[in-house]
Structure 1
Amino acid sequence: MRKIMIIDDAAFMRALLKDYLISLGHEIVVEGCNGQEAIQLYKRYKPDLVTMDITMPEMDGISALKEIMKFDPRANVIMCSAMGQQQLVLESIRAGAKDFLVKPFSKDRIVEAVDRVMVSR
């Protein structure tokens, strides 16, 4: 069972991801709604995997990703973005994200991304 942290400013997206991931046998250790929270929660819970939205208030996901990677260069982060944000996806991969999910998600794509990232650990 993998410990996963979900960061997204939209409660319904967190709930959707949480339901999918729990049904796949993973444990959701904590949820957050902005980049500032993501950094604090990552340091506190040290999850096996993070799913993080790119566009959020207070601090965006890419900025939070960069801070998490400074703290833990081996962090496993999957970024999430809406359609049409390819430039942001590329920027997040360069910043250390292991994969990305485009909203709206399909359960198959979530399985594929999580399995790929966790196998490469």
Structure 2
Amino acid sequence: MPTVLIVDDALFMRVAIGNMLKEWGFEVIGEASNGRQAIEKYRELQPDLVTMDITMPGMSGLDAVKQIIPEFPDAKIIMITALGHQRLVIDAIEYGAKDFITKPFTPEKLKAVIDNIMPSMEV
């Protein structure tokens, strides 16, 4: 069963994304509400997939990606962003994030992005 770390400062988003992923056979092994927690949890858990909100208080998802990828170059991180943050998304992809999705999104769109970056996983 593939594992996932969900990073978002909004609890309702963590719950919504977690419910979708559980339906698709993922095990949610951790959650974080800011970039600093995301880095700590990634080091500790080394999940198969990370969903990372791009803007969060304290440390952003972009800054977390900048620190996770050099240490874990194979990390599969999907950035989750609001409309209007396209420049941040481009930066995140340049720093090593695998893909992105814009809020609000449908479960089908999230599944398509996951299938795109994890084609070998039976999800």
**Partner residue of 1:31?**
31
Aligned residue pairs total 121
Report what 1:82 is aligned to: 82
Provide TM-score, normalisation by structure 2.
0.95
Q: Which residue of 1 aligns with 2:106?
A: 106
Q: 2:56 corresponds to which residue?
A: 56
Matched residue SS, 1:119:
coil
User: Could you list the runs of 5+ residues in structure 2 that have no partner in the other structure?
Assistant: none
> Is the counterpart of residue 2 in structure 1 residue 2 in structure 2?
yes
Alignment RMSD: 1.2
List structure 1 segments (4+ residues) > 2 angstroms apart after TM superposition. none
CA distance in 1, matches of 2:6, 2:18: 8
Which residue of the partner structure matches residue 44 of structure 2?
44
Query: What do the CA deviations read for 1:13-69 (whole angstroms, capped 9, x no partner)?
Result: 001100111111111000000000000000000000000001001100011001000
Code of the residue aligned with 1:18 in structure 2: it is G
Match of 2:94 in 1: 94
1:66 aligns with 66
Deviation per residue, 1:71-91 (Å, 9 max, x gap):
101110000000111111111
Unaligned runs of 5+ in 1: none
